[in-house]
Structure 1
Amino acid sequence: MIKVVFLGPPGAGKGTQAVRIAEKYNVPHISTGDILRAAVKEGTELGQLAKSYMDRGELVPDEVIIGIIRERLSQPDIRERGFILDGFPRTLKQAEALDQLLSELNMPLDRVIYLNVDDEEIVKRLLARGRADDTEEVIRNRLKVYREQTAPLIDYYAEKCLLAEIYGVGEIDEITKKIEEALGLGE
């Protein structure tokens, strides 16, 4: 059973790596970005609210995200196989709420994988993927929001001795191998 959080700036490769680890080790991958994009696509009330924040490059409010995560972590597949959280937590408040929730569920985190990638590489990557919401202005605002709200989690998890920092630039397979080693899953 793996219980891990993937942390890093937008475009660092968290989703790519989380999916690779999830598929290889049969662990549920929980991407708040995917959950929110699905809600936006379906036009749900939550989706419309989330879209208004996302279009401005801002974070969706904690209460909404925490509710989604609470619901998902309470499901049977999580109890059996663990989880990979991708895109949550993004703030200290969310990290504290996650700690509380995992304590209630008696499922402590094993590790936090921090993919470290510099800003100019992020801008290049996100512009290249061509999403409508990925203009340079929005990307740079997302990086500013990340530095202000999410980057403090690096120290938060380092102080708990859970952080494994991995340089997120290079061959995808090599980065995956480093993540597996940090999770004690090396072959």
Structure 2
Amino acid sequence: MDETVKPLRIPPQMSVYADKHNIFHLEQSMLSSLVIDRPEDPISYLISLLRRSSVDIPRVLLLGPPAVGKHTVAKKLSAELRAVQVTTDSLLEGQSELSVQAHQYTLKEQELPTELLVQLIQQRLNEIDCFNRVRLRSDSAFLDFLSIRLLYVLLERSRGKLVDPLTGDIYHRTFIWPVDDTVAQRLEIPSETQLLAELQRYRCEGTGLNSAYQHVLKIINADQPHADIYQQVLAFVRTRRRSITPRILLLGPPGSGKSHQARLLSKKYKMVDVCCGQLLRSVAADGSALGEEIQSYLDDGRRVPDSIVLQVLEERLSRVDCSCSGWILHGFPYDLQQAKSLQEFQQPNRVFFLELTDDVCLERITLRATDPVSGERFHAMTRPAPSSEVTDRLKTRPEDSTDSVTHNLSQYRIHSAVLQAVYPDACHIDADQDPHSVFEALESRLTAY
């Protein structure tokens, strides 16, 4: 490792304390609030924010394109949780000077200025009922803490949207039809021009919204029955009272796809992908004294001693990116002693076993080979080489030979039962399916913790 650059490290004890008391999540939320609200007196603002945050009341923001179902979900949540629902229309119903000023824009059919809308929201959220009850906002992006974004809605679904002009309630020709015939008769079709404009605006702003709320974001596929959507939202609101920094172990036999799934999880959830083998090779190449020692083991094909592996892992997992964003570790632990040693300085809170039979593992690994010219990896069954010329020059790594893989599988089976005893609450995932299905299974269990 570069001795001239000292990465910021957080001692394991501090990391555990911060996780227990939700420090990192609180820090991210406070920073997000500062950036959004930009108060004149940041210190007083943060003190007020901390006082409000001491009460475990979720603040919910629903984001999504037009006709995705935000209004319907917000209305049901409001009734279920006895929540204060905040919409643009409700903000205009007030009698304050700001509300009257905003109402003038609506009379002229002009869009509310962003600054005025923010002031209206801040004014409403500072009222006593919003301090003591859940706050819901369903049509903009000026709130923090708990965000739910609903995506993937077809335009045809939007065209089925109907509005009750008396109550403002949203209905749909196919999905949500009013029980009362009187209500059904007075429904109106919203302007499609306005709908398309709102959709285009959301698409322009969607990436920024995703980035602003990534630490508290829950993405739900809204192209499904609205009752299913609501149940997912409600479950998330009820269970996500505090953020637990993920410390994930991916365990499984060779060829089960641990590295691939770790990359997918890391990319989507911004966690740090820590592959033990790759980490050792990285340290070996940095020119440090420890790196030279590790390189000597790698050159001779010997196993790097546990004491060195643990030293490298402890240093990496205690860096601030791992402590704040969480990590996914694979390639370690290998046996009972390594698992016990890991527990001494980092305790994983999510453990997954990727299950695969030996026959499938052998097929996945022994039939793959690398083109030394392009560096691409091919597989005799799932991704054959494009030509006989490429096939003739393919090279198989020694560790991918049948004898080597069979030995590694045998060793894994010996230790896997013990590792399962160390992690009795681990989730077992069927890895004998396409990578996307495996990822979905991992993801569903990841958010269920």
Q: Does 2:418 align with 1:170?
A: no
Q: Does 2:400 align with 1:137?
A: no
1:24-35 correspondence runs (5 A): 24-35=268-279
Structure 1 gaps of 5+ residues are 103-107
Match for 2:292 among 32, 36, 44? 44
Q: Does 2:357 align with 1:112?
A: no
When the two chains are superposed, the root-mean-square deviation of aligned CA atoms in Å is: 2.2
Deviation at 1:149, TM superposition (A): 3.1
CA contact (8 A) 1:53 1:60 kept: no
Calculate percent identity across the aligned residue pairs.
29
Secondary structure of 1:112's aligned partner: strand
Deviation at 1:47, TM superposition (A): 2.3
Secondary structure of 1:6's aligned partner: strand
Equivalent residues, number: 174
1:74-93 correspondence runs (5 A): 74-93=318-337
Q: Does 2:13 align with 1:13?
A: no
C-alpha distance in 1 between matches for 2:407 and 2:294 = 23
Please give the per-residue CA displacement for 1:129-148, whole angstroms capped at 9, x wherever unaligned.
32512111111111112122
* 2:306 corresponds to: 62
TM-score with structure 2 setting the length: 0.37
Please give the per-residue CA displacement for 1:24-50, whole angstroms capped at 9, x wherever unaligned.
000001001212344567783302303
C-alpha distance in 1 between matches for 2:340 and 2:334 = 11
Structure 2 gaps of 5+ residues are 1-244, 370-395
* 2:446 corresponds to: 183
Please give the per-residue CA displacement for 1:155-177, whole angstroms capped at 9, x wherever unaligned.
2201xx2x000010111111000
Partner amino acid, structure 2, of 1:50: L
* 1:122 corresponds to: 361
Deviation at 1:53, TM superposition (A): 4.0
TM-score with structure 1 setting the length: 0.84
Query: Greater share of helix residues, 1 or 2?
Result: 1
Deviation at 1:64, TM superposition (A): 2.1
Secondary structure of 2:253's aligned partner: coil
Secondary structure of 2:367's aligned partner: helix
Deviation at 1:151, TM superposition (A): 4.2
